[in-house]
A and B are shown apart, each in its own frame.
Chain A
Amino acid sequence: MSAISFQSVSKTYPTQRGQSGAAVKALDDVSFDIQQGEFFGLLGPNGAGKTSLISILAGLSRASSGSVTVHGHNVLGDYAAARRTLGVVPQELVFDPFFSVREALRIQSGYFGIKNNDAWIDELLASLGLADKASANMRQLSGGMKRRMLVAQALVHKPQVIVLDEPTAGVDVELRQTLWQFIAKLNKQGSTVLLTTHYLEEAEALCSRIAMLKLGKVVALAQTSELLQAASSNVLRFKIDSELPAALAGKARITGRIVQFPAHNANEIEQYLAAIRQAGLEAVDVEIRKADLEDVFLEVMSGKSKAAA
């Protein structure tokens, strides 16, 4: 049985009252399964439909058509069982200002009918670096602490499926590592993890399989290693002070002075360098590196990849 199953999920948001324009199709016939124990990445640019899909999974939103199950439980018809199985870390940095950290976690446990949960609450707080904040009011926490508190609240009922919607936004590097170590430990113990993030190096390091969404459609779905292989295997990277000719600029990813060309073989690399020389330009700090997930992502989003689903 799949941990999560999306079957032909579509979501259309009606036009807001007083606004003109057509209704927005946030998700268009999305279907894929996530197996139990997987660490699965859901990637896509802003507005691709990632959060819409997670909202439907979590019961925060309803699909216009299609169905979603969690461990076989339909998220609409059998929502109570589905939500007991799910632990969702929302993207928005929200908190209830009336309570302390421990009170909020006890209350969250209580919603799931769990009594005397302090041992697990203490473990969560220690693992997420919040042990010394147990008595602090939620308002006193920094942004990064509030983010980690969202993770603790999502995990308080020991869910079998953990959904993380951009959990590391605004969290510093050291604490991000702590968070990932903890989530990876839970994954090793059998929890399924569904992650959305804009930090593609995190997704590459953690996720065994990845789906990419673009304008509400799945445009890539494969093992992370397959995605990396299917994309351009190398990247030619250099710095340049002048503007590239238009023909070359169209093929390159340019960030300030840094220019990067996706290349499949040595021949392509030679051609790029020759074109630069012929244009009378000087490339400095030239290097060739292996393509990473960011390169794959950009290729898929531009429609050039062979890795599309």
Chain B
Amino acid sequence: MTGMQTLLYKETLRFWKVGFQTVGAPILTAVMYMLIFGHVLEGRVLVYGTVNYTAFLVPGLVMMSVLQNAFANSSSSLIQSKIMGSLVFVLLTPLSHWHWFFAYVGAAVARGLLVGAGVFAVTVYFGRPDFVYPLWIVLFAVLGAAMLGALGVIAGLWSDKFDQMAAFQNFVIMPMTFLSGVFYSIHSLPPFWQTVSHLNPFFYMIDGFRYGFFGVSDVSPWLSLGIVSTALAVVSAIAVNMLRTGYKIRS
């Protein structure tokens, strides 16, 4: 293995060793959402005119889990190792900032996709969506996970304390995922909130991801692809630059 592959392996092994909380817990959370929202709204709501609510909800929950867990992986690994001091073992190696970036984001994508697959496997029992365009499903899952993994690198480097990290998670990541159309089609929102949702890059990730299942979406999947790719490029550039300059890790 090369140095970068080793760091990727180490970051993957890190979450796998505590898989009960890093993979099991988010799957359970998604099942709770499905039980509650699916049960209450099933039969009362039809989305896109033809899709029943539970089937609509499944891809939303899967993508929400992918995004939140990809973020959690890179951010928690960095903040923990910064606070415990064990980041020094990586800082002392010849690995470049690109190696760091691809390893931390790669492990975040791995955890995001693993949790997403787990959530899908469990929630699909409640409402089976179609698979109209599987490649779009995979593409948006990977791009979304990568963007949140890179955002996690930024948050992990920026945060000095766990409460700063919690604030980032609770006041940025959580609202953006909840207001992205996980639980509803934004066409059911008032015009003002529709406009606000269009400013949220998470909306395009979930909308594009859902397009892969139903072949129907709120906006064109190409527009979503363009916006998600641009957002990924911007966030990655910031994260790579922070790693290159050793922001808060090399004094």
Interface residues of A (CB under 8 A from B): 13, 55, 58-62, 79-81, 83-84, 86, 88, 90, 92, 94-99, 103-104, 107-108, 110-113, 115, 153-154
Contact = CB atoms under 8 A, between A and B. Distances in A.
Interface in B1-54: 1-3, 5-7, 9-10, 13-14, 17-18
Interface residues on B, range: 20 to 34
Given A94-B86, A98-B13, A110-B6, A61 B250 contact: yes
B81 interface: yes
A111 B6 contact: yes
Nearest to B96: A80
Contact of B94 (A13, A60, A79, A154): A79
- Between B91, B92, B251, the greatest number of chain A beta carbons within 10 A of the residue's beta carbon is seen for B92
Interface of B: 1-3, 5-7, 9-10, 13-14, 17-18, 81, 84-86, 88-96, 246, 250-251
A83 B251 contact: no
A86 B93 CA distance: 9
A153 B250 CA distance: 20
Contacts of A83: 92-94
- Between A59, A83, A98, the greatest number of chain B beta carbons within 10 A of the residue's beta carbon is seen for A98
Contact of B89 (A59, A62, A80, A108): A108
Given A13-B251, A61-B251, A94-B85, 19 more contacts: A55-B251, A58-B91, A62-B246, A62-B251, A83-B92, A83-B93, A88-B92, A90-B88, A90-B92, A95-B84, A96-B84, A103-B13, A110-B3, A110-B5, A110-B6, A111-B7, A112-B94, A115-B1, A153-B89
Contacts of B13: 98-99, 103
Contacts of A98: 13-14, 17-18
A58 B92 contact: yes
Contacts of B86: 94-97
Task: Decide if the interface of chain A is mainly helix, strand, loop or mixed.
Answer: mixed
Given A61-B251, A96-B81, A112 B246 contact: no
- Between A59, A104, A154, the greatest number of chain B beta carbons within 10 A of the residue's beta carbon is seen for A59
Contacts of A103: 13
B95 A111 contact: yes
Given A96-B86, A98-B13, A107 B92 contact: no
Nearest to B99: A111
B100 to A, nearest CB: 11
12 contacts: A62-B246, A80-B94, A80-B96, A84-B94, A86-B92, A88-B92, A94-B88, A94-B89, A96-B89, A110-B3, A110-B9, A154-B92
Contact of B92 (A13, A60, A113): A60
Contacts of B251: 13, 55, 60-62
Contact of B6 (A13, A81, A84, A107): A107
- Between A92, A107, A111, the greatest number of chain B beta carbons within 10 A of the residue's beta carbon is seen for A111
A111 B3 contact: yes
Contacts of B18: 98
Contacts of B246: 62
Contacts of A99: 13
A111 B94 CA distance: 8
A84 B1 CA distance: 16
Nearest to A97: B84
A188 to B, nearest CB: 25
B192 to A, nearest CB: 38
Contacts of B3: 110-113
B85 A62 contact: no
A92 B87 CA distance: 12
A81 B17 contact: no
Contacts of B93: 83, 108, 111-112
A97 B86 CA distance: 9
A115 B81 CA distance: 24
